[in-house]
């Protein structure tokens, strides 16, 4: 991370989407219409590029740039690790009039993880950079918490949108432990250090406190959404339900129905578009494939462990869970 040194630093790859698209166009034209047609196309492109440079010199065309980020969210929002790097880089380099497009896919997850991811997107807004979020498949729960920060939300017609709600569920093994004569003891300091537990016996007071905490989290979620989309009717949309794109548009959860591909193609007419992809630099062992080999070896050894050792391992993990 930018301000947190790492043994495996992050590397950033930048892809000029305009050039990629133009190269594909040329390849298709050459294959279908021949080299003569391709030559004429290149002449038109050169003339257009020359005119664009003249317009830019005269101030007619500011040459705004668009930067594309991808966020593929899991339950822990682990992609925020790279998102924060990309946003920090953009804030220090983007110019007035530039736009950031985030292609967002997430069914939601942990509150604190997605709270941080949404706060990272808010940094772009605070820096005065236009932010658009495109949702092709799903932006629910924590995913919508992120999306609502944007100036514009563009969703595909059948994208899943919404689910402004909070859910928590856990098993309870108290009866099972009791039936097997296993005692469970827990020691806390503070009236509400623990409410409901996995192994202890839960009472109505524990459940009521836990429900109260969920309601508080829901209120924070609604307040956050209302801050960035004040025209939403929260009584109607903050029920934990989700909607498909067309219904979401009518409810003002999104601003436009369109795929991310179509949206970016429109922007290409007047903007240079760059996709940013960051990743953790592979270690030498990973480059040589040693980590995969070690993992395969450990898996083979584990399959051959005697039953007694496996039972010991289960008991150890049970103690950790306590």
Locate tokens 């292609």: which residue? 103
- Geometric angle at alpha carbon 179, from 176 and 183, rounded to 5°: 80
Whether 322 is a known active-site residue: answer: no
**Percent helix, percent strand, percent coil in the chain, to nearest 5:** 50, 15, 35
- Spot the catalytic one: 7, 35, 193, 304: 193
- Spot the catalytic one: 141, 163, 260, 271: 141
Give the side-chain half-sphere CA count within 13 A for 12.
Answer: 18
Neighbours of 182 (CB within 10 A): 12
Q: List the one residue out of 277, 267, 166 whose CA is nearest residue 219.
A: 166
Could you tell me the sign of the dihedral formed by the alpha carbons of 129, 104, 260, 135, in that order? negative
- Alpha-carbon distance 262 to 268, whole Å? 10
Whether 163 is a known active-site residue: answer: no
Using DSSP's 3-state secondary structure scheme, residue 190 falls into coil
Residues known to be catalytic: 141, 193
């Amino acid at each position: 991370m930018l301000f947190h040194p790492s043994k495996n630093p992050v590397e950033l790859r930048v892809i000029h989407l305009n050039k990629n698209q133009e190269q594909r166009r040329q390849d298709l034209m050459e294959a279908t219409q021949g080299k003569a047609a391709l030559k004429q196309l290149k002449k038109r492109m050169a003339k257009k590029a020359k005119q664009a440079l003249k317009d830019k010199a005269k101030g007619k065309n500011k040459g705004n740039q668009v930067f594309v980020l991808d966020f593929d969210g899991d339950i822990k929002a682990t992609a925020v690790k790279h998102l924060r790097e990309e946003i920090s880089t953009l804030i220090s380099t983007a110019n007035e009039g530039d736009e950031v497009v985030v292609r967002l896919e997430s069914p939601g997850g942990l509150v604190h993880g997605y709270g941080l991811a949404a706060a990272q997107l808010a940094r772009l807004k605070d820096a005065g950079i236009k932010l658009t979020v495109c949702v092709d498949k799903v932006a629910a729960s924590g995913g919508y918490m992120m999306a609502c920060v944007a100036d514009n939300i563009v969703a595909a017609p059948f994208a899943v949108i919404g689910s402004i709600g909070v859910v928590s569920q856990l098993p309870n093994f108290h009866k099972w432990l009791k039936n097997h004569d296993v005692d469970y003891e827990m020691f806390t300091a503070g009236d509400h250090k623990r409410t409901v537990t996995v192994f202890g016996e839960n009472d109505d007071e524990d459940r009521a406190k836990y429900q109260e905490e969920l309601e508080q989290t829901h209120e924070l979620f609604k307040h956050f959404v209302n801050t960035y989309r004040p025209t939403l009717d929260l009584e109607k949309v903050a029920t934990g339900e989700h909607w498909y794109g067309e219904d979401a548009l009518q409810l003002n959860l999104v601003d436009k129905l369109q795929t991310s591909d179509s949206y970016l193609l429109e922007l290409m007419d007047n903007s240079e578009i760059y996709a940013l992809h960051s990743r953790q630099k592979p270690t030498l062992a990973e480059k040589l494939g040693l980590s995969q080999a070690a993992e395969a070896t450990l898996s083979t050894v584990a399959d051959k462990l005697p039953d007694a050792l496996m039972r010991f391992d289960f008991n150890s993990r049970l103690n950790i869970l306590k």
